Amino acid sequence: MSIRHGILALLSQGPRYGYQLRAEFEASTGATWPLNIGQVYSTLARLERDGLVAKADADAEGRFVYRITPDGEEEVRRWFATPIAPADRPRDELAIKLAMAVTTPGVDVRAVVQTQRTATLRALRDLTRLKADAPPLPADAADASWRLVLESMIFQAEAEVRWLDHCEAFMTRLALERRPAAAQTGPEAEAARPDERPEVRR
Amino acid sequence: MNVLVMREVSRDHGTGPNVVHALRGVSLHVAPGEFVAVMGPSGSGKSTLLTLAGGLDTPTAGQVLVEGTDLGSLGTAARAALRRRSIGYVFQDYNLIPTLTAAENVMLPRELDGVRTRRARREALDALAEVGIGELADRFPEEMSGGQQQRVAIARALVGERRLVLADEPTGALDSRSGEEIMRLLRARCDAGAACLMVTHESRHAAWADRVVFLRDGVIVDSTGAPTGPESLLEDVR
């Protein structure tokens, strides 16, 4: 999806060779989504089949130049003007995992949350180091777009940590509200779940 | 040698059935040049940890060493002197003295330490230049933005030979851009050899640290560990 439209958007700036498209795509996303040349040519073949790009005759070195068609131009305009629908994004595996953890007996939800939080914080730190090492102002347009992709990943990681914090707080509150029922089963049940003691503000 | 070492540190509040274990056997160290962030829900013991690291409170059990000196072995006066000489604090609300200029705020701990005014001022101007606001030396806090005031506080924390910064939500009162500038600055000061222990609830800011430790119910439950070298970092992302 994004490769197809990414390539179309690059071709809307002028005709290009396949290897050129690959290099420019990677430059503007900071090589976050590396492409192999096979993906580029198979995508170009589908775009050509759909009438969105046209292949010129081979040059002296046997390389093909691709150019965008009027239908392709229209497709690029439509792409930029249309928001991405939630259904177009992959399902959130983490949300599914947490949902399953809550309903599966014997799973320590807090441990699942913490394991993910540490991993996400580690990724967030590494992304932040890339940002810290970059000069204050981007050198060119490709660098500027790479910065935006990097920030997108930082915001996503940050949002994930916030959501995990929320999950933990929510589960703690839930455990507290269920406590009166648990207390009736006797002190042994309490002692067996030392982690669920109330949070005390210090 | 580590600038800060905490060994099996515990802190209880209250006694008997009302005892609250604010911190339970926490061990932590911060090396020169290292930036460590502490995260955890409210009530997890973050602030207690920072207070104990700064010698503003005494642990119920365990040891706190600053620059190799066990704070528990010192009397009140010696502890205050070590605090002034070795430890700088950065707070959410800056805690600058409003009737003193930026330079005078930074000079203050040095003058309390017996450094002469002329030398204290020179050190203060150097420290302010290092945090990028040398030209604001003669401004009063109310004449500066929040971000600039926090820079003054960081200069004050690191003036003289001090190299341990304890920061409690240092970006809490700042907008996101100023907050990021403060994190860049703390990062740069650590890269220049300072050691920083920072409490924050914002993952975006904790991510500037080398290591993030997670505190819950007074116990360190997890840590990101130190980052790997730049080469493997690129392999991971690309």
**How confident is the model over B86-126, as pLDDT tens digits?**
999 999 889 999 999 999 999 998 998 899 999 999 999 99
Tokens of B11: 């802190």
Residue B187 to residue A121, Cβ atoms within 8 A: no
> A83: which DSSP letter?
P
Query: B184-215 pLDDT, tens per residue?
Result: 999 998 999 999 999 999 999 999 999 999 99
Domain covering B4-94+163-237, topology: Rossmann fold (3.40.50)
Q: What share of chain B is helix, strand, coil (3-state, %, to 5)?
A: 40, 25, 35
Local confidence band at B160 (pLDDT 50, 70, 90 cut-offs)? confident
Residues in A touching B60 (Cβ below 8 Å): none
CA dist A52 → A67, A138, A192 (Å): 9, 32, 65
Cβ within 8 Å of B, A 47-76: none
Q: Is the pLDDT of residue A198 over 60?
A: no
Structure confidence at residue A100 (pLDDT)? 84
Q: Answer whether B40's CB lies under 8 Å from B48's CB.
A: no
B237 touches chain A (CB under 8 A): yes
Q: Report how far apart the first and last C-alpha atoms of chain B are (Å, whole number).
A: 36
A198 touches chain B (CB under 8 A): no
Local confidence band at A195 (pLDDT 50, 70, 90 cut-offs)? very low
A14 touches chain B (CB under 8 A): no
Rank A1-5, A24-28, B163-167, B231-235 by mean pLDDT and report only the highest. Answer: B163-167
H/E run at residue B216: strand B211-216
Residues in B touching A171 (Cβ below 8 Å): none
**Average pLDDT of the segment spanning B53-57:** 92
CB atoms within 10 A of CB A104: 9
**Average pLDDT of the segment spanning B48-62:** 94
Q: Answer whether A20's CB lies under 8 Å from A94's CB.
A: no
**Average pLDDT of the segment spanning B54-64:** 94
Tokens of A157: 């990681």
Structure confidence at residue B237 (pLDDT)? 42
- For residues A158 and B203, give the distance between their C-alpha atoms in angstroms, rounded to a whole number: 6
User: Which among B210, B171, B228, B206 is positioned nearest to B35, based on CA atoms?
Assistant: B210
Residue B236 to residue A126, Cβ atoms within 8 A: yes
A112 touches chain B (CB under 8 A): no
Q: Which amino acid is at B220?
A: I
Local confidence band at A189 (pLDDT 50, 70, 90 cut-offs)? very low
Name the least confident of A61-70, A185-194, B83-92, B112-121.
A185-194
Structure confidence at residue A172 (pLDDT)? 84
Query: Token match 């604090």: residue?
Result: B89
User: Which among B111, B64, B58, B53 is positioned nearest to B85, based on CA atoms?
Assistant: B111
Structure confidence at residue A3 (pLDDT)? 86
- For residues A148 and A145, give the distance between their C-alpha atoms in angstroms, rounded to a whole number: 5
What b-and-e string marks burial along A142-162, b requiring 16 or more CB atoms within 10 Å of the CB? beeebbeebeebbeebbebbe
Query: Token match 């198979």: residue?
Result: A42
Residues in A touching B206 (Cβ below 8 Å): 121, 124-125
Query: A138-186 pLDDT, tens per residue?
Result: 888 888 988 999 999 999 999 999 999 999 888 888 888 887 655 545 4
Local confidence band at A199 (pLDDT 50, 70, 90 cut-offs)? very low
- For residues B72 and B57, give the distance between their C-alpha atoms in angstroms, rounded to a whole number: 10
Structure confidence at residue A191 (pLDDT)? 43
Query: Token match 């851009």: residue?
Result: B177
- Average pLDDT of chain B, as a whole number: 91
Residues in A touching B207 (Cβ below 8 Å): 121, 124-125, 127-128, 154, 157
Tokens of B42: 């409210």
Rg (CA), chain A: 25
Residue A121 to residue B207, Cβ atoms within 8 A: yes
A147 touches chain B (CB under 8 A): no
H/E run at residue A43: helix A37-49
**Average pLDDT of the segment spanning A68-86:** 89
